[in-house]
Structure 1
Amino acid sequence: MDDFNSETDSDYTSYWRDWFISSRGNEYFCEIDEDYLTDRFNLTGLNGEVQYYQYALDLVTDVFDLDCDDEMRETIEKSARHLYGLVHARYIVTTRGLAKMLEKYKKADFGKCPRVMCEAHPLLPMGQADNPNAKAVKLYCARCEDIYNPKSSRHSAIDGAYFGTSFHNIIFQVYPALIPAKSYDRYVPRVFGFKVHAPAALIRWQHAERDEMRRRLRKLEIESGFKDDEGDVEAEDSEEEEEEEEADPEVFENGEAQGGQVGPVA
């Protein structure tokens, strides 16, 4: 019985996919079903993306029997990892793939949000581009709706295209009960209990609103009533004249302008 168990375990661990999933740095990946990998429809267009595509596919599906040197084997191994990642991006948006990633999400296998206000909410891997070799994988928090870099350097080296730009949103469309309550809490800087820069921010906002209101009143030719309005109007008029002069330099070329002659008044 012991011999049978050891032989079974040895055969099981000899599968390439099991070795890939159990390797350090590949914790974000789920295992792709063999029937999905052997369906050519699911691999459409990948033969042009992967070097030694057929050999790589044979290695992933455990039918590789090519006798080659170590350098060639290493190249095919690299292509197999790339192929698995590209297929993985397609697989995890299927019903079966979403269920597997959901289990990893519930166990927080992808990490927890580093933001204090999110109270260690689980993260999801995501890509910022669907094309390979463009952006590394990021981690998305559904509570604060922000993205973060992985803590481990091994995870930071994973291509974001292996998860795609849609998976982290699709999983909440399929499982809406997982959508967390949004985090509206924000850190408020304080000094001895008093808010920092709150009056200054309010004054800046008031100035911006006042300037916008004055511009609207001038367009409507309505008296604003501000004391410094006349000086601002003259300043804006001079700026408009300068802009017109820059826009039509030929008009001022001979010292003349529309409506009169430009020059000192006697």
Structure 2
Amino acid sequence: MSSDPEDDYIPWIQQFCELFGHDYFVPVAQDFIEDDFNLTGLSSQVPYYREALYTILDYEVETSEDNNNNNTTTIHNASTPNSNNNSNNNSNSNVAATTTATTASGIAKKAGKAELPNKALLAHSADLLYGLIHSRYIISKPGLTAMATKFERNEFGSCPRYYCDGMHLIPVGSTDIPGHETVRLYCPCCNDIYLPSSSRYLNIDGAFFGTTFPGLLVKMFPEIENQCRIRTNKVNSQDFGLKLFGFKINELSASGPRMKWLRLYPQTDLEKEEYETCEFGLPSGDEESNSNSDMEEVADDDEEDDDDKTMASEGN
């Protein structure tokens, strides 16, 4: 029982999304690609833009290999003798036909090399064009919904940080210009960026997801912010600290927990205002002189009694 070839045909977009390492991509709707407004400015970024677009839309595209095969067939047909004519006319006509066909094929080859891409270059241009279209599609409403489904299924991976409690990651690019950096994963809980856990994703361009998508996804679905808020409050209320025999060490003691400010978040309006004013702030001249005098006093005190010394250093 013979099957219809059209039933076995797989669209180009489906083949692209099913390739090894393309798990982060979602199929772009054909209506979105056929709208020229959504493709504004891409023709200057993608070589052989029209041929690549036709390839994505499953149209038949002629390549330089196909053009060379057609020229070879034309030369073969023109050089075949006609048995109904005499030998002299045949030889003269064949020579003229062969010369004409050879000249035409040479012109066609030059034109084919200049205008028609080969199959490898056409495949690369189609992949680049689809990636740039994908970065625009995922910030539309249907694209955000499709990517949110992948986010819920944890198809992008989880944050490796302990206090993020397995928060789902979001793909992001550091720039919207292709060819600069590969895709990264953004955690909305700790606001940090990580490399994908598998090397299969290290050849995906970050511009195929862009810099706008993570922030728009978080704002589009408030549930993500709620999940981050729950994890943040859990960390502040059950913060880890050093213990001796089950008792926490006093923060004011010399051996108390240090660098705790790395896990603190500003809570009150006064703390937020202090954080905004102190971040990357430079001290004034008076404050700098006072700080220098304070440093000198501290240095004098350290010479007399160094609190950082341990009993092992005092025994030497």
Q: TM-score when scaled to structure 2?
A: 0.58
Among candidates 66, 77, 93, match of residue 139 of structure 2: 93
Among candidates 177, 190, 202, match of residue 131 of structure 1: 177
Tell me how far 1:102 sits from its aligned partner.
0.7
What residue in structure 1 maps to residue 72 of structure 2? none
What residue in structure 2 maps to residue 181 of structure 1? 228
Q: In the TM superposition, what whole-angstrom CA distance separates every residue of 1:190-249 from its partner, at most 9, and x where no partner exists? A: 5867779647769xxxxxxxxx8xx54978xxxx999959x9xxxxxxxxxxxxxxxxxx
Gaps of 5+ in 1: 203-211, 232-266
What residue in structure 1 maps to residue 128 of structure 2? 82
* 1:130–1:160 CA contact under 8 A, matched in 2: yes
Q: In the TM superposition, what whole-angstrom CA distance separates every residue of 1:41-75 from its partner, at most 9, and x where no partner exists? A: 11111111011111111111111331443981111
Partner amino acid for 1:10?
D
* 1:110–1:123 CA contact under 8 A, matched in 2: yes
Specify the SS of the correspondent of 2:171: strand
* 1:127–1:164 CA contact under 8 A, matched in 2: yes
Percent identity of the aligned residues?
33
* 2:63–2:118 CA contact under 8 A, matched in 1: no
Is it true that 1:30 corresponds to 2:76 in the alignment?
no
Q: TM-score when scaled to structure 1?
A: 0.68
* 2:242–2:257 CA contact under 8 A, matched in 1: no
Output the CA distance in 1 between the equivalents of 2:294 and 2:45.
Answer: 68
Which region of structure 1 is more displaced relative to structure 2, 193-202 or 88-97?
193-202
In structure 2, the CA distance between the partners of 1:227 and 1:129, relative to structure 1 (3 Å rule), is: closer
Among candidates 43, 46, 50, match of residue 46 of structure 2: 50
Specify the SS of the correspondent of 1:181: helix
Output the CA distance in 2 between the equivalents of 1:156 and 1:60.
Answer: 23
Is it true that 1:140 corresponds to 2:208 in the alignment?
no
Which region of structure 1 is more displaced relative to structure 2, 168-177 or 68-77?
68-77
Q: In the TM superposition, what whole-angstrom CA distance separates every residue of 1:241-263 from its partner, at most 9, and x where no partner exists? A: xxxxxxxxxxxxxxxxxxxxxxx
Gaps of 5+ in 2: 67-116, 261-282, 301-316
Output the CA distance in 1 between the equivalents of 2:288 and 2:62.
Answer: 81
